[in-house]
Chains A and B, each alone.
Chain A
Amino acid sequence: EVQLLESGGGLVQPGGSLRLSCAASGFTFSSYAMSWVRQAPGKGLEWVSAISDTGNSAYYADSVKGRFTISRDNSKNTLYLQMNSLRAEDTALYYCAKTTGSSWYGPFNYWGQGTLVTVSS
């Protein structure tokens, strides 16, 4: 059974940093691209970042480019999102999502339950 378990969310002040993690199990992690998708309270879905299966290529939404860094450790079956220079508008539930294949742009067939990030003073 595919499982994605996010962690690392919490309350942080504007300008601060957080590192999110997503522990994957139930599939060959190193064979699939992964993404982070967020959802602000009461709002829709927003794609944040994606990484290729090998970790050699990363992609970002314009809203986070230069502030967020996606990475993965295939030996630990874990996906990461380093978030710096956080803003109030980054407040959201952050989901880890698995693509259907190795291509970074694929649809997402499995999602975690999310970890909540709140940026507030």
Chain B
Amino acid sequence: EVVLTQSPGTLSLSPGERATLSCRASQSVSNNYLAWYQQIPGQAPRLLIYGASSRATGIPDRFSGSGSGTDFTLTISRLEPEDFAVYYCQQYGSSSITFGQGTRLEIK
């Protein structure tokens, strides 16, 4: 099973700042099948990025994904108030889909 480790656990930033979230895999993610989701408390997750760097439909361009192999990054270029939430990475390149433990992005 591919274990995904996200860092930091909590990130405290202000609106307008840049956020950088990390996701590290225990082994190479096949075909860079790595996705990022945003979850606002009380809501279902929302797909932001798939294939490591492709934005899902309707996702603002301030969200971007990068990386390959075992190291991946989600960047939010300029934080809006609605961006403060929990973010999960997910790999879907192996026979068992796994998620990271999440990064909580909170308002400083």
Contacts and interface: CB of A to CB of B under 8 A. Distances in A.
Our verdict on whether A and B bind, yes or no, reads: yes
Query: Contact size class for A?
Result: 20 to 34
Given A105-B33, A105-B92, A107-B92, A114 B44 contact: yes
Interface residues of B, number: 24
Classify the interface of chain B: helix, strand, loop or mixed.
loop
Contacts of A109: 47, 50, 56-57
B8 interface: no
Interface in A15-65: 35, 44-47, 50, 59, 61-62
Interface stretch (B17-25, B66-74, B75-83, B99-107): B99-107
A44 B1 CA distance: 17
Contacts of B96: 47, 59, 61-62
B36 to A, nearest CB: 9
Contact of A46 (B39, B50, B99): B99
Interface string A85-104: 00000000001000010000
Interface of A: 35, 44-47, 50, 59, 61-62, 95, 100, 105-109, 111-114
Interface of B: 1, 33, 35, 37, 39, 44-47, 50, 56-57, 88, 90, 92-93, 95-102
29 contacts: A44-B99, A44-B100, A44-B102, A45-B39, A45-B45, A45-B88, A45-B99, A45-B102, A47-B96, A47-B97, A47-B98, A59-B95, A59-B96, A61-B96, A61-B97, A105-B33, A105-B93, A106-B92, A107-B33, A107-B47, A107-B56, A107-B90, A108-B47, A109-B47, A109-B50, A109-B56, A109-B57, A112-B44, A113-B44
